[in-house]
Structure 1
C-alpha cells in the first residue's frame, strides 16, 4: 500500500496545471474578443460622428446655396428698381424741358385737368440729373450678381468633396489619437452628392421667381394713368374729352435683361372737315432704358412742317382716334434711349429631382492594437424639413430657395429609401 501511494504523488498537480492552462487560454480568448468588441464599438461611434459631420457640411452647403439664391433674386429686384428710377429721373428731365418751353404750357394743364396736375407739371422745373449715381449703383449690383455670388456658388459646390474629406479626416484623427493614421482606411461606399445638383440657365433658374416677386412691388407695376378734362370740347363729339395719359412698364427682355420706359402726353381733342374729331398728341415726358435698340414708329422732332393728323395716318397711328397710347412720346424715348451694359441672368444650381433626401454611406477599416482588422459602417442623410406653420396652405417642395436642410444618422440598410 505504501508503494502504491507513492506512485500517485503529483497527479493532482498535473491536472491542476492543465485546468489552469485551459482557464488561462479561455481568459486570453475572452480578453482578445473583448478587445476586438471594444475597438469595434469605438470605431462605430467615431465613424457615426464622421458621417454625421460630413452630412452636416452638405446640409450647410445646401442652405448657403439657398441664401445665395435669395440674394441673387434680391439683387435682380434692385437692378429693376434702379433702372425704373433711371427712367423716372430721365422722364422728369424731359418734362422739365417741355414745361420750360411751354409745350404744352403749365396753365393749360391746370385749366384742363385741375390744379393738382398743373402743380405736378410745374414741379418738374426742379428736376435734377441723377443718372451717373444710379448707373454706378447699377454696376455694383451687377458685379455682385455675376462675379461675387456666382463664384461663391461654384466654390461651394465644387469644393464640397474636398471639405467633406477634410472633415472626416479631422474627426477620425481627433477621436482616435492612439490609432496611427496609417492603420485607418475609410472610403465612401455610396454617395448621392455628385448627381444631386445640376447647373441651370438663368432663364430657367430666375425668371419664374422674378415674375412672381415683381408683382409684390408696386414701384415695378405697370404705370398707367389717364385723366379726362372737365368739360366738353367739340359739339360734333360731345362725349370726347382732352386726355392726360401716363404710361410706363418695367420688364425682362428675352435675354434676361431689364428694361423700363416712362412717358406722359397730352392728347388734345381736335376736329377738321376731313377726319372729324381726333386727338393731337403733345409729348410732355419720355424716357427709355433698354440694353439694345428698339423698333417702332419714328416721330419727327416737331410737327412745324407737317400736320400731325397726316403724319399719324401715314404711320398707322391708332391713337389718333382713341388716345390709347403715347405714340410720339415713345418714339422720342426710343430716339433718346439710355443703354447701360447688362449681362442678363446668371446661371444657377438646382436639385435634379424634387427629392427631399440626400444620403452617404461611409465605410472604415482599421488595424487594431492586437493586429486584428476591424470594420465599421455608418450612414447619414440630409433631409428637407420645413417647420410646421398654421398658415401654410400646402407643403413646401424641396428646393434651393428654402434653407431648411438638416442632417441625421440613419441605418445603412435604409439607403434605398428616397421617399
Structure 2
C-alpha cells in the first residue's frame, strides 16, 4: 500500500509574498518608465512647437527688417522727387522775377509780344511776378530734405541692419519663455523656477545678405529715382516754340520771328538736381554782312543747382554775358565771343548765360547710399536654424520636476542621454514674393525696393542636425 506524505503548511508560508513583491516591483518600474517616457515625449512635442514658433517669429523679424529697408529706399526716392520739385520751383521763381524786371524795362515790350505771338503770350508775359523770399524758403526746405536722406534715413537703415541679430534672438527667447512660463529664461538670475529652454544658433545667412551701395553710378537708386521723377509732368520738359506768321525779309522768306520757351529739370552726373527755365524773343534781322540772323532778347531766366555742380552737358552759354548791346552789335559780338548758331538755332543761349551767371547754388550731397540684396544672394531666401534644449531638470520626470519620489544611482532615469535634457532643431526663412503676378508674366528677383518679404518654416538640413548633436 502506497502512502502520501504532505508538506507541512508552515513550510509553504511566504513564497507567494516574494513572488507578489517581484511582480509589484516590476509593475512599479514599468509604470515609472512609462510615466517618464510619456513626460519626455510630451516635453519634446511641446518643445518642438515652441521652437517652431520661435524661429518663425525670428523669420518674421527678418521680414520686418527687410521691409523696413525697402520702405527706407522708397522714402529716399520720395525725398529725391521732392528735391527735384524744389529746384524746379526755385528756377521758376527766379524766372518770374527776371521776367518782371525785363517787362518793366520794356525789353521787349509786352505789347510787341502780344502783337507778334498772340494775346495769350502777351498776358503770360504780363503775369510774370516775383514772390518775396520764396527762393530762400525753397532753399531751406531743400536743405532739410538733404539732411534727412543723408542722416536720418541713413541712420535708420544702419540701425535696422546692425540690430537685427539681437532683436531676432530677443524675440525668439521671448516666444520660448511664453511657451514655458513655469521656467526661468536663460540668463535670468534668481527666482525659484526651473531653467527654461536653451537657444543655440546653428546657421545664419544674415551676414553679407544685404550690402550698402553708393548711388554714384547708373544702378540701384539712380534709375529708380529717375523713373519716379518721370511720372511728374512738372519735372518734364517745359519747352515750346511759337512762330509769327508774317514774312520779315525777302532774303529769308521762310524764317519768322520766334518766341522760345525752354525749361527742364535734370539729375546731374554728380547725383545733384538742377533746373533751368528761360524764355526769349528771337527777332529775325538781316544785313549785308551776315544775311538773316536771329537777334535774341532774353525775357526771363532762372536756374537752381548744386553748389559744386557743373552746367548741364550741351548747354550753350558764356561765363560773363554783356548786360546790353547799346555799344556793340549783337551779331558781331556773337561771332567774336561765342560759337552760337544765330542763323538756325533752337535754344536761348543769351538767356542761358544770364541764368548761369545768377544761378542759385544750393549745398547738396547728391544721391544718398542705399541698401540692396547682395548680388550673389538674390536667388536665395534669408535662412537660419537653431537648436533648442530643455534641461532635464525642467522635465516632470521622477528624477526632476515630478512630485513622485526620484530614483537614484543606477535606477535613475537615463533616457535623456548624456545631455540630460530634450533637444530639437528648427529652421525658418524669409523670402521675397509678389502679392500678385507681374502684368508681363515675368519673375522678379528679390529686392529691397519692394516690401514683399514674408516668413515661413524651413526643412532642417543634415548638416544642421549633425551640428545640433555636437557639444555647444
State the TM bucket, normalised to the shorter chain. Answer: over 0.9
- Supply the distance in 2 between the matched residues of 1:258 and 1:195 (Cα, whole angstroms): 32
1:8 to partner: Cα distance: 3.0
- Supply the distance in 1 between the matched residues of 2:225 and 2:107 (Cα, whole angstroms): 39
1:188 to partner: Cα distance: 0.9
Contact 2:85–2:235 (Cα < 8 Å) also in 1: yes
Aligned to 1:152: 156
3-state DSSP class of the match of 2:371? strand
- Supply the distance in 1 between the matched residues of 2:144 and 2:295 (Cα, whole angstroms): 43
- Supply the distance in 1 between the matched residues of 2:141 and 2:309 (Cα, whole angstroms): 23
- Supply the distance in 2 between the matched residues of 1:266 and 1:341 (Cα, whole angstroms): 33
Aligned to 2:47: 43
Alignment of 1:118-197 (within 5 A): 118-124=122-128, 126-129=129-132, 130-182=134-186, 183=195, 184-197=197-210
Structure 1: segments with no counterpart, 5+ residues: none
1:258 to partner: Cα distance: 0.5
TM-score by length of structure 1 reads 0.94
Q: 1:384 aligns with which of 432, 438, 444?
A: 432
Q: 1:297 aligns with which of 314, 318, 338?
A: 318
> Using a 3 Å threshold, how does the CA distance of structure 1 residues 381 and 84 change in structure 2: closer, same or farther?
same
Q: 1:18 aligns with which of 17, 22, 30?
A: 22
Contact 2:279–2:299 (Cα < 8 Å) also in 1: yes
TM-score by length of structure 2 reads 0.84
- Supply the distance in 2 between the matched residues of 1:145 and 1:293 (Cα, whole angstroms): 19
Alignment of 1:334-353 (within 5 A): 334-353=356-375
- Supply the distance in 2 between the matched residues of 1:116 and 1:323 (Cα, whole angstroms): 25
Contact 2:270–2:309 (Cα < 8 Å) also in 1: no
Contact 1:286–1:333 (Cα < 8 Å) also in 2: yes
- Supply the distance in 1 between the matched residues of 2:179 and 2:388 (Cα, whole angstroms): 14
Q: Comparing 353-362 with 238-247, which one deviates more in the overlay? A: 353-362
> Using a 3 Å threshold, how does the CA distance of structure 1 residues 14 and 414 change in structure 2: closer, same or farther?
closer
Query: Which of the pair has more CA radius of gyration?
Result: 2
1:5 to partner: Cα distance: 5.2
1:22 to partner: Cα distance: 1.6
- Supply the distance in 2 between the matched residues of 1:34 and 1:101 (Cα, whole angstroms): 100
- Supply the distance in 1 between the matched residues of 2:330 and 2:101 (Cα, whole angstroms): 21
Larger relative helix fraction: 1
What whole-Å deviation, never above 9, does each CA across 1:243-275 have from its counterpart, x for those lacking one? 111111211112211111111111110111111
1:47 to partner: Cα distance: 1.0
1:187 to partner: Cα distance: 1.2
Contact 1:188–1:363 (Cα < 8 Å) also in 2: yes
Aligned to 2:410: none
Aligned to 1:77: 81
1:356 to partner: Cα distance: 5.2
1:201 aligns with 2:248: no
Q: 1:405 aligns with which of 453, 457, 463?
A: 453
Contact 1:90–1:286 (Cα < 8 Å) also in 2: yes
Q: 1:357 aligns with which of 364, 381, 385?
A: 381
Contact 1:359–1:415 (Cα < 8 Å) also in 2: no
Contact 1:319–1:325 (Cα < 8 Å) also in 2: no
Aligned to 2:288: 273
Aligned to 1:256: 271
What whole-Å deviation, never above 9, does each CA across 1:189-212 have from its counterpart, x for those lacking one? 011111210111123432111122
- Supply the distance in 2 between the matched residues of 1:413 and 1:164 (Cα, whole angstroms): 21
Q: Comparing 164-173 with 92-101, which one deviates more in the overlay? A: 164-173
1:390 to partner: Cα distance: 7.7
- Supply the distance in 2 between the matched residues of 1:347 and 1:390 (Cα, whole angstroms): 28
3-state DSSP class of the match of 2:7? helix
- Supply the distance in 2 between the matched residues of 1:275 and 1:389 (Cα, whole angstroms): 64
Q: Comparing 111-120 with 286-295, which one deviates more in the overlay? A: 286-295
- Supply the distance in 1 between the matched residues of 2:11 and 2:180 (Cα, whole angstroms): 59
> Using a 3 Å threshold, how does the CA distance of structure 1 residues 294 and 390 change in structure 2: closer, same or farther?
closer
Structure 2: segments with no counterpart, 5+ residues: 187-194, 312-316, 401-419, 465-472
3-state DSSP class of the match of 1:245? strand
